[in-house]
Structure 1
Amino acid sequence: MNKYKILILFLAGIVAYFLITFLVLRFYPDDPAQMAWMDREAFNARYIARLNTDGSIKQEYLIGRLGSPDITEAFQHQDQVYQLLYYRTHRKAADGITTTDECTALLFIDRRLTASGDDAVQQYQAVQSDVSRLR
């Protein structure tokens, strides 16, 4: 009987370990503000790659999940607000300065995600150049 008690305790310990691990991962999501810079870049890259750019994601939600952007640009045109948020996803130079070429851009129109990456920058710049020509 002693062997059975040891086996039962061993199995109970394994089950408890996996249950606690599951609960921690489920109810304590990653916080980018608390991450080291390399971990945050990897987290940002993975998270941004999974985003849907159909306008269903609100800016407030994304900032709540990724934290404040590293670089921001914005302008208003015809009652629409265009915002380009840059999140660092890869480091090119260890100089302590974050530049747009080290980031992935996210375009928000009226606070809804509409494009990411190079498409976001191209769309933003196209509308911005149109606005500049009208002035």
Structure 2
Amino acid sequence: MKIKILLWLVVGIGIYLLATIVILRFYPDNPAQMNWQDREAFNAKFIQRLNLSKPVQQEYLINRLGSPDITEAYRHNGEVYQLLYYRTHRKAADGITTADECTALLFIERQLSAVGDEAIARYLELQPDARSLE
């Protein structure tokens, strides 16, 4: 009798673990379906894990994080510079997302080049000489 109960317990735990693994593997987080607090935390955690030594394409990042909260872009010497801002921390409960509540990601020709304050600084380096994208 004890062996039968123990067997059912092990089978139940196994099914639970298998279901958990399947859900985590095949149903990734979707920022579009998150409330704003969860989305901020998700964005911050995802951005923190980015590794600039490996190529990160803009399309991949947008597929994972969704549309950016703020976007700026220009073309300089035939290259497209895009600064995408994703909200990672709230400063004021006013319902408006501002750049100081976001983490900036700089893409040059759709390839991630810099994150955070460095992204903003590099973006602004060439901007005065740049033509606006239309």
**Counterpart of 1:69?**
68
**Counterpart of 1:43?**
42
CA drift of 1:130 comes to 3.9
Other structure's SS at 2:92 match: coil
Instruction: Please give the per-residue CA displacement for 1:60-83, whole angstroms capped at 9, x wherever unaligned.
Output: 110001000000000001110000
- What's the % identity of the aligned pairs? 64
Inter-CA distance 55–83: structure 2 relative to 1 (3 Å threshold): farther
Other structure's SS at 1:76 match: strand
Normalized against structure 1, the TM-score is what?
Answer: 0.93
Matched, 1:59 2:52: no
Normalized against structure 2, the TM-score is what?
Answer: 0.93
In 1, Cα distance between equivalents of 2:100 and 2:54:
25
Other structure's SS at 1:124 match: helix
Instruction: Please give the per-residue CA displacement for 1:108-132, whole angstroms capped at 9, x wherever unaligned.
Output: 0001000000000000011103438
**Counterpart of 1:23?**
22
Matches within 5 A, 1:1-135: 2-54=1-53, 56-131=55-130
In 2, Cα distance between equivalents of 1:75 and 1:131:
6
Instruction: Please give the per-residue CA displacement for 1:35-64, whole angstroms capped at 9, x wherever unaligned.
Output: 111010000001001112247111111000
Amino acid at match of 1:90: H
Structure 2, gaps ≥5 residues long:
none
- Alpha-carbon contact 1:55-1:113 (below 8 Å) kept: no
The CA RMSD over aligned residues, in Å, is: 1.3
- Alpha-carbon contact 1:81-1:109 (below 8 Å) kept: yes
Q: For structure 1, which segment, 115-124 or 47-56, has the greater mean C-alpha deviation from structure 2 after superposition?
A: 47-56
- Alpha-carbon contact 1:70-1:87 (below 8 Å) kept: yes
Following superposition, which runs of at least 4 residues in structure 1 exceed 4 angstroms of deviation? none
Structure 1, gaps ≥5 residues long:
none
